[in-house]
Chains A and B, each alone.
Chain A
Amino acid sequence: MKIQRFGRMSAVALVGALALTACGSDNNTTSASGTAGGGGSTANIDCAAGEVQAEGSSAQKNAIELAIKNYQSACAEATLSYNPTGSGAGIKQFIAGQVDFAGSDSVLSDQPEEGVVETEDAAKTCGSPAWNLPMVTGPIAITYNVPGVDKLVLTPDVAAQIFQGRITTWDDPAIAKINQGVKLPGTRISVFFRADESGTTENFTKYLSATAKDLWTADPSKVWSGKGEGKNKSAGVASAVKSTEGGITYAEWSYAVDNKLDIAQIDNGAGPVELNSRTVGKAVDAAKNVGKGHDIRLELDYATKEKGAYPILLVTYEIVCSKGQDEAKTKLTKSFLSYFSSKDGQKSLEAAGYAPLPEEVRTKVSASVDALS
């Protein structure tokens, strides 16, 4: 009898739980916030249905989340999940066949590293070559907080010395020399860096070691090798600069914009360059494509002397199998990536602090996406 009573009780509990879960809804209608500024039209998406999983770089998380949102809003039958576990984890899961495509800050390496050649392993998993498709470019801003100075020019040498702690005050002659006519205060410079391992740190140090070789001798790495005070995540360094007079840091453009911080202009030798989507596009345009065929690998020239090209950049890729995958999944992946690489898709990213791919690269990426089978 007791059993029956508990049986009844658990039956009621079970039915209750099922009832609770049954009424769930996926139908979230938000005031398409991301598209408001970017004006990303989703009218001409060629929808596909099904489910696709991706994983990887956290630098492109906001961009791909926005693209997924726009895509899914237009295609209710499609479900895409992106887990920002980091580029390394994304590539590992891609090679293990656990995800349909990976997001990464760097291309699959074709050189053996610890006995592993990523391109070969990926090709083995795919049964066909894996392609790297640049999809999102995110400029890195050098942001500062010096009251009264809303325009500041930095050269690689001066930047390197600041981030190494060699230049300690804002009125240092080295800074004054490249900022003629700007009234610099004697405030102490407080450098903030990313305490966590970060692709932003890696790309920023890549830039410094490429442009100020003699001064910045440490190898580029995800761990900061300069001086200063560590803060967690981009949000941490950005808010530290915001609240510290004399503070300076490097962060993704979107964080500088969100926190309304001043952004330094960079002078690589051809005059000061302001950070905006045009100057970023110019730098990506100047990047060399060293990939073969539909595999696109951009080689950035950090030391570019080209006029009006903003040199501190982060390019993130989607890594996909070129063919031979499950038909439905391929169809959805292809459909999503062709939206992502479309003019509309790229334009909507601007609102999230990313720069659209320059037209020439974008057409190439689009062609590669079309060639997926």
Chain B
Amino acid sequence: MTIVDTGMDTAVQETRDGSARRRLTSGLGPKAAGRRVRDELARVVMWLAFLVALVPLVWILGSVLVKGGHMLFESTWFTHSQRNITSSDVGGGAIHAIQGTLIQGAATALMAVPIGVFTAIYLVEYGRGALARAVSFMVDILTGVPSIVAALFIYAVWVTTFGFQRVGFAVALSLVLLMVPVVVRSTEEMLKLVPNELREASYALGVPKWKTIARIVIPTAFSGIVTGVLLGLARIMGETAPLLILGPYTKNIATNLFSGNMATLPTMINQDRVEALQPALDRVWGAALTLILLILLLNVVGRIIARFGAVRT
């Protein structure tokens, strides 16, 4: 989703530039014809690229809406689970999966946010020299770790080494690995945006460093940090690899992170994906749409907070 967003922004930006230039060169007469042709050509290519980028997005959203939209209006979709619903049965809902996704997301955030925020504070406010460079480098590496590797790492530790069961908490652990770098990077950027004058003014009044960070720096950057956290959360909620490896599906409502199976929207999609029966397929599309909406909601909330509370300079 983020990729497409950027694509849109740039395309619009470029077009604006293009039209601006056209106005400038249009009065130069026949000698500028070649330039004008090139300009038009570039504009057309840019528009085409934008449209091509738009095709899959519109296609995906369209087909998910058409095929799964009606499921969201079923009376039981947001209130009931899939308990006692076989693949050929109509009915039931997705509350067990929605709930599982939210619970695991919350557990992940609870672990990843403190780690990420404090790492970022260290990097911006304290970190100097080799250690800071090493931490920064590690965060970069962590950003590039594919989710399946994170999942297998946790499987190796949690299941193979310690012999624990595959439970929701193990899923959250592997999601933490994916969320921490996102939180660190976004928080870091936000903290860097806080003007040094604020810190200096605080020091000048005799406020110690920790208090300056806690009372001046963090509040100033707070909305940016929240946005980063929400975007990070949106990123991990749609992750599937850790769920396939560590989070077996169940049709029942489960709230215990430490025992038993816990359903999530991605595993709910995976469960009925292979079926050919219409009720099962309807559920797959419904769950897909629910997941998209959930993540969309997080993104929107993140952006709204970002808009209302940009860092004041």
Cβ of B100 to closest chain A Cβ, rounded Å: 9
Taking a contact as CB atoms closer than 8 A, the residue among A25, A65, A66, A239 that contacts B276 in the complex is A239
On chain B, the residues within 8 Å of A79 by CB distance are 83, 250, 252, 260
Q: Is A116 an interface residue (CB 8 A)?
A: no
Closest B residue by C-beta to A96: B159
Q: Are A28 and B81 in contact (CB under 8 A)?
A: yes
Interface 9-mer from B8-16, B59-67, B72-80, B145-153: B72-80
* Assembled-state Cα–Cα distance A324/B24 (Å): 85
Taking a contact as CB atoms closer than 8 A, the residue among A25, A53, A61 that contacts B79 in the complex is A25
* Assembled-state Cα–Cα distance A6/B302 (Å): 12
Q: Are B81 and A26 in contact (CB under 8 A)?
A: yes
Taking a contact as CB atoms closer than 8 A, the residue among A2, A25, A69, A97 that contacts B219 in the complex is A2
CB-CB contacts below 8 Å: B153-173 with A: 159-160, 163, 165-166
Q: Is A17 an interface residue (CB 8 A)?
A: yes
Q: Is A27 an interface residue (CB 8 A)?
A: yes
Instruction: Mark contacts of B219-237 with chain A using CB atoms, 8 A cut-off: 1 yes-contact digit, 0 otherwise.
Output: 1001100100000000000
* Assembled-state Cα–Cα distance A116/B80 (Å): 44
Q: Is B95 an interface residue (CB 8 A)?
A: yes
Q: Is B84 an interface residue (CB 8 A)?
A: yes
Closest B residue by C-beta to A238: B276
Q: Is A83 an interface residue (CB 8 A)?
A: yes
Known: A2-B219, A51-B260, A98-B159. A30 touches B85 (CB 8 A): yes
Closest A residue by C-beta to B220: A2
* Assembled-state Cα–Cα distance A96/B88 (Å): 32
Q: Are B252 and A26 in contact (CB under 8 A)?
A: yes
On chain B, the residues within 8 Å of A73 by CB distance are 84
Q: Is A343 an interface residue (CB 8 A)?
A: no
Q: Are B83 and A21 in contact (CB under 8 A)?
A: no
Q: Are B274 and A58 in contact (CB under 8 A)?
A: yes
On chain B, the residues within 8 Å of A21 by CB distance are 95, 98-99, 102-103
Q: How large is the interface on B (under 10, 10 to 19, 20 to 34, 35 or more residues)?
A: 35 or more
Known: A30-B91, A98-B165. A24 touches B79 (CB 8 A): yes
On chain A, the residues within 8 Å of B99 by CB distance are 21, 24
Instruction: Mark contacts of A81-104 with chain B using CB atoms, 8 A cut-off: 1 yes-contact digit, 0 otherwise.
Output: 101100000000000111000000
Q: Are B80 and A6 in contact (CB under 8 A)?
A: no
* Assembled-state Cα–Cα distance A24/B77 (Å): 10
On chain B, the residues within 8 Å of A43 by CB distance are none
On chain A, the residues within 8 Å of B83 by CB distance are 26-28, 72, 79
* Assembled-state Cα–Cα distance A21/B92 (Å): 15
The SS class assigned to the A binding surface is helix
Report the interface size for chain A: residues with CB under 8 A from the other chain: 42
Closest B residue by C-beta to A83: B248
Known: A25-B81, A83-B249. A53 touches B260 (CB 8 A): yes
On chain B, the residues within 8 Å of A65 by CB distance are 86-87
Q: Are B261 and A53 in contact (CB under 8 A)?
A: yes
* Assembled-state Cα–Cα distance A162/B93 (Å): 45
Closest B residue by C-beta to A25: B80
Cβ of A299 to closest chain B Cβ, rounded Å: 30
Q: Is A287 an interface residue (CB 8 A)?
A: no
* Assembled-state Cα–Cα distance A84/B248 (Å): 10
Q: Are B223 and A69 in contact (CB under 8 A)?
A: no
Q: Is A165 an interface residue (CB 8 A)?
A: no
Most chain A CB within a 10 A radius of its CB, from B93, B276, B305, B309 = B276
Cβ of A272 to closest chain B Cβ, rounded Å: 30
Q: Is B251 an interface residue (CB 8 A)?
A: yes
On chain B, the residues within 8 Å of A25 by CB distance are 79-81, 95, 253
Taking a contact as CB atoms closer than 8 A, the residue among B81, B96, B248, B252 that contacts A55 in the complex is B248
Q: Are A28 and B253 in contact (CB under 8 A)?
A: no
Known: A28-B92, A66-B86, A79-B252. A235 touches B81 (CB 8 A): no
Instruction: Mark contacts of A229-270 with chain B using CB atoms, 8 A cut-off: 1 yes-contact digit, 0 otherwise.
Output: 000011110110000000000000000000000000000000
Instruction: Mark contacts of A305-338 with chain B using CB atoms, 8 A cut-off: 1 yes-contact digit, 0 otherwise.
Output: 0000000000000000000000000000000000
Cβ of B78 to closest chain A Cβ, rounded Å: 7
Q: Is A290 an interface residue (CB 8 A)?
A: no
Known: A6-B222, A21-B102. A81 touches B96 (CB 8 A): no
Contacts A25-B79, A27-B80, A81-B248 supplied; 10 other A-B pairs, CB < 8 Å:
A13-B301, A24-B99, A25-B95, A26-B253, A28-B81, A28-B83, A69-B89, A79-B252, A81-B249, A83-B261
Q: Can you list 26 A-B contacts (CB < 8 A)? A: A2-B219, A2-B223, A17-B102, A20-B78, A21-B102, A24-B95, A24-B96, A24-B253, A26-B253, A27-B83, A28-B82, A30-B90, A30-B91, A33-B88, A51-B260, A53-B248, A55-B248, A58-B274, A62-B87, A68-B84, A69-B86, A79-B260, A96-B159, A98-B165, A233-B276, A235-B276
Binding site for B on A (CB under 8 A): 2-3, 6, 10, 13, 17, 20-21, 23-28, 30, 33-34, 51, 53, 55, 58, 61-62, 65-66, 68-69, 72-73, 79, 81, 83-84, 96-98, 233-236, 238-239
